[in-house]
Structures are given as C-alpha cells and as structure tokens.
Structure 1
C-alpha cells in the first residue's frame, strides 16, 4: 500500500469531485434526449456504449492529464494509460448504460483512486438526481437534493431480514444464477436492475446485500471504497479481494456476509 500524504489526499478528493462535475456536464445533455443512439460492443449479446460514455471519459482523462499526469488511468471506454506514481484512476463514465438508454436514473459515474492493494478513495455520482456518494481517506459522505450527511450501513444480521439487489435476474452463468437464487430464497426482499446505484444504497443504509458476477475492475473499485468507508464489506464469492472484479458480494455486516457466502458456495 502506497503512503499518501494528507496534502495529496486532499488533492485527490478535489480532483475526484472535479472529474465528477465534468462527467455530469458531459452526460446530462444526452440523457433522455430524442434519437440517442447506442453501439453494441459485443458480437453476441448486448453491451451498449453511447456518445455520452465516450464524452464523459474523454473529459475526465483530459483533466487527469493536466492535473495528475503521473497517475495511471484505467477506463472502460479507452483502456489503460501508464503512470509513474503507483496510483491509478479507475473510471467508468456511465455504469449502467442499459439504464441510461432506457431513461432510468439509476446509472452512475464511477471514479476511484487505487493502488496495488485496491481502492483507496471512490465516488459514485448520479448526475440526473444530483446525488453523490464518496468514501475513503476518513470520509463517508453523501450529498443530494435534500442535503447530505454521513454514510453508514445498516446493522442487519439475519438473512431473512435482508434486502438483496442484483442488476440482472440471470446474474451470470447458470451456475452463478443458481448460487444467487440460494441466497435470494432466504432474504426478505430481492430487487433487480440498479447497477452501481445498488451499492450506493447499501452504503447509505437502505439495503443489505448486493451480489453480482462478471464485473470488471472499473465496475467495482469505486463501490468498494464507498461501502468500506460506510462500514460494509466487499469481497469475491470466496471471501477474497474484490477489486480484480468477477463474482462480487457486498454486505452491510459480517454476519450477513458469512451467511450469504455459505449459500454461494464460497
């Protein structure tokens, strides 16, 4: 883990908010606009990308090139750029592009600052609603139309009292879907389709579990930072590090995490 000075921590926080502000300006003109087009990045299946995704990541990369040129960058749309500081900005300009092109306000901009140990600071930003969730460097905060305050996970410890989210009902492979259903059958409520907003809700104390599969690093670095700062737990399905991506479980409490892991087969 790289030692980051207090002064540099503050600079990172300010830079992250500058990036989020720029991404808001870039994407909002496209959201719910008539004739918004999307391209499919897959030859089989559907993984959309829009001009808004590309515009937001381009804006953020330009800011980092100007203000943090020694840091590396990993972004969904334009890949990796090497750096010399040992720190990497991990960017997802629109997490939830399927929701974006459908007009739902549950997509978000993900921004994280990571080193080899994993995320150190992260933001989940929802431009249309005007909500922002941040975690790291001793901060666990949210702001929104009704004000803001501290983030803190719920204290739920029984699986049958838990609210569970995932983005896609099919979750992943047939095996992964079956594992998810073993947990879903035990919880109080299961909901679908929230993308990164589900992780923000967990950090805000609104839900208890998020379980997904097939994630990339840029999908999960910012949520890890925010949820851990709020007191939650994020691992893979074996209880290991989550920042490489793959099969992910985020839980409000150690008790819920352990119960869900046992059912997932971890």
Structure 2
C-alpha cells in the first residue's frame, strides 16, 4: 500500500510533469529558443525557467506550506519538513542541441529524504515514478510496468554508465573510474537522469557520477531504492546531497565503491 500522505502527492507530481511536458515539447528545437549561461558556465534556456515557474505556480496553490528548491530559481530543501526539489530540464545541453534525451525531474523530500520521485522524458515517450513504500514504475507506449533492478552479482558481469568522463579528472579520479570500467563487463555514457532510470529498470547495473547537484538525483534516489536497488554518494552515504552519485542493483554497490575509493 502507499504510505499514508503520499497518495495525494504522486498524482500532483503527475500534474506537474504534464505541465512541464507541455512547455518543453513546444520549445524543443524552437528556432527562437533563448539560451544564456549561468555563472558556472552551464547553459540555461527559456524553457528551463518557464518550466520551473509553471511548477512553482501550481505548488503555490496546491501545497502552499511546502518549500520549493529548484535549479533555476533557487531555494533549499532543508533537513526538516516538506520540500519539492526540481530540475526543470535535466540534460539542457542535449535539449539545446536537439538531442531528445532530457527530462524534467520532480522530487518530494520529507525531513531530508526523498519520498516521491517523478521523471518525465516526453521525447523518449517515457515516464518513471516512485513513492516510498509503494514501489517504482515506468510507462511507455506499451503501458505501465513495475520496475525491479537486475540480479547481476559480479562486477565482471556488470553494465556500467556515467555522464561525462572528463569530469572524473576534475572532481574525483579518472583512473579510479577507468579501473571500474575495466572491472565491469561493459560501459557506456548514457548520462544524466536516464542512466539511473535504466538501473531501476534492470537494464543497467551501475550508474556513477562524480559531480551532481541535489536536483539532479533526488528523484533518482527514491526511484532506484523503490526498485530494490541502492543509492549513495561516492563515500557510501545514502544521500542525494553528497555532490556525487552511485546507483546500483544493491548487490554490486560495495564492490563498486571499493574500486572508486580514492
């Protein structure tokens, strides 16, 4: 059964995702798309800000007592109370280059822990969601299915993904990540939200990122754990706020952390 209190939050997250999709699909590949750079040199489009503003407007009406933390408009989730953590477009570089792999990420965090996650990728025709105690699910043209992580038990049989290999040089250790790829059966760079969703689906066994923001992985944490997997930062702490991320099927988590240890 759904944990009491979340049965109303998940339908709201669905409404927020629908509102986001209406904006992002209309602006994708738009000839008049406005693009600027934030202080950290990452790109932001008018679609990013429009999505976050639309979601915040709905939440102001539906959940006026909840905090909101978003990539574009700021705010903090805090360690107590309820907060919605938003990434209006995860994969903005893909979005502005016309690559259809991007998504809106919506998470409800309660007392510092993600309890509802919604990931919507309209150009992939996919949506993933989870709420604490009620499992993880995805939908596509074939319908809705419940998710479960893989049963792979050895790194030598594992399928691994990351985002940008170059970030490992600056934020962790390129050599350690390459050691992990060598320990695994196969590696790819599906990147961003999608790799964590693929871990939850059982298509991938590991997804590692050496640099993330809270809004990048809050929804992924509840999705992966509700699918039976494990989520942590690269120190092993089960948090979406650690600045790094490792999703796994659970069986491989400690082995992967051991390889990535500085």
User: Fold conserved (TM > 0.5)?
Assistant: yes
**Which residue pairs with 2:137 in the alignment?**
141
Per-residue deviation, 1:5: 6.6
**Which residue pairs with 2:179 in the alignment?**
182
**Which residue pairs with 1:24 in the alignment?**
21
Per-residue deviation, 1:205: 1.1
Per-residue deviation, 1:193: 4.2
Q: Within 5 Å, which residues of 2 pair with 1:50-129?
A: 50-80=45-75, 86-129=81-124
Tell me if structure 2 keeps the 8 A contact 1:167–1:195: yes
Tell me whether 1:213 sits opposite 2:215 in the alignment.
Answer: no
Per-residue deviation, 1:35: 4.3
Q: 5+ unaligned residues in a row in structure 2: which ranges? A: none
Tell me if structure 2 keeps the 8 A contact 1:31–1:101: yes
Cα RMSD, aligned residues only: 1.9
Q: 1:224 aligns with which of 214, 221, 227?
A: 221
Q: Deviations over 1:217-255 (max 9, x none)?
A: 11110000100010010011121122213121111123x
Tell me whether 1:172 sits opposite 2:172 in the alignment.
Answer: no
Tell me if structure 1 keeps the 8 A contact 2:77–2:109: no
Per-residue deviation, 1:31: 0.8
Q: 2:35 aligns with which of 13, 34, 38?
A: 38
Per-residue deviation, 1:127: 1.4
Partner secondary structure for residue 26 of structure 2: coil
Tell me if structure 1 keeps the 8 A contact 2:149–2:228: yes
Per-residue deviation, 1:36: 2.7
Tell me if structure 2 keeps the 8 A contact 1:133–1:200: yes
**Which residue pairs with 1:195 in the alignment?**
192
Structure 1 CA distance for aligned equivalents of residues 111 and 173 of structure 2: 28
Structure 2 CA distance for aligned equivalents of residues 218 and 166 of structure 1: 17
Residues 105, 245 of structure 1: CA spacing in aligned structure 2 closer, same or farther, 3 A cutoff?
A: farther
Partner secondary structure for residue 148 of structure 2: coil
Per-residue deviation, 1:10: 1.3
Structure 2 CA distance for aligned equivalents of residues 82 and 188 of structure 1: 38
Q: Deviations over 1:124-164 (max 9, x none)?
A: 11011221111123131111122121111111111111111
**Which residue pairs with 2:6 in the alignment?**
9
Q: Give the number of equivalent residue pairs.
A: 258
TM-score by length of 2: 0.93
Partner secondary structure for residue 244 of structure 2: strand
Structure 1 CA distance for aligned equivalents of residues 37 and 168 of structure 2: 19
Per-residue deviation, 1:82: 8.0
Tell me if structure 2 keeps the 8 A contact 1:72–1:89: yes
Misfit runs of 4+, over 6 Å? none
Tell me whether 1:240 sits opposite 2:237 in the alignment.
Answer: yes
| Segment of structure 1 superposing worse, 9-18 or 135-144 | 135-144
